[in-house]
Chains A and B, each alone.
Chain A
Amino acid sequence: QKEVEQDPGPLSVPEGAIVSLNCTYSNSAFQYFMWYRQYSRKGPELLMYTYSSGNKEDGRFTAQVDKSSKYISLFIRDSQPSDSATYLCAMIRGTGANSKLTFGKGITLSVRP
């Protein structure tokens, strides 16, 4: 079993839809949880970051972490064509210079106008 599992894609939704992206993890040592967005032929960019269970909201994006279930989600409200990209969940374990970021496989989202 991989340390971080991400729901397979691709995912295609109409503009304005609510999108739910999910990841599970097996290692309790993960302390920080992130979502990266990667546009085609670009590097990943950090979208959301959280370290505690609960919800964190930033505009149309909400990151949710449930440490007891080892489950994280990213919700996108009122999705736009510009949201079309690959979304990668990522988690950090360890501290300082030994901290290590582990990514999920990513899911490609397409928002149709």
Chain B
Amino acid sequence: DTAVSQTPKYLVTQMGNDKSIKCEQNLGHDTMYWYKQDSKKFLKIMFSYNNKELIINETVPNRFSPKSPDKAHLNLHINSLELGDSAVYFCASSQVGGSTDTQYFGPGTRLTVL
């Protein structure tokens, strides 16, 4: 069973388009995250949600809008895609207050904006 899954795995699109990435976790965790990993492999947090409530928003452009319909899902919608949005986007989840707050990562969505 996949603990944290993301769809799609690859996304190639034109500049200016709107796209969504979906994330689901079956670990029963209450907190979910979106990270962006750039071409130099630097992994940076974008958002975190705890029990469907936005907790962390790391000065990400308004074009990025996360949505959490329930504790097990956190989707990322991106409007008006730009070339600089090309990166790998990782979803992660954790159980806050657990023994380690360990974050479990999904396989990533490789976004290419042409």
Contact = CB atoms under 8 A, between A and B. Distances in A.
Interface residues of A, number: 24
B108 A99 contact: no
Interface of A is mostly: strand
Contacts of B90: 43-44
Contacts of B41: 38, 86, 105-106, 108
Interface string B31-75: 101000000111111001011000110000000000000000000
B96 A105 contact: no
Interface stretch (A16-24, A57-65, A69-77, A90-98): A90-98
Nearest to B53: A97
Interface size class of B (residues with CB under 8 A): 20 to 34
* Nearest 8 interchain pairs by C-beta: A43-B105, A97-B50, A103-B43, A106-B41, A44-B105, A97-B55, A97-B96, A43-B107
19 contacts: A34-B102, A38-B41, A42-B107, A43-B90, A43-B107, A43-B108, A44-B43, A44-B105, A49-B100, A97-B48, A98-B56, A100-B56, A101-B45, A101-B103, A102-B45, A103-B44, A105-B40, A105-B41, A106-B43
Given A32-B101, A43-B4, A97-B96, 14 more contacts: A41-B110, A43-B105, A43-B108, A44-B43, A44-B90, A46-B104, A49-B100, A92-B101, A96-B96, A97-B50, A99-B96, A101-B45, A102-B45, A106-B41
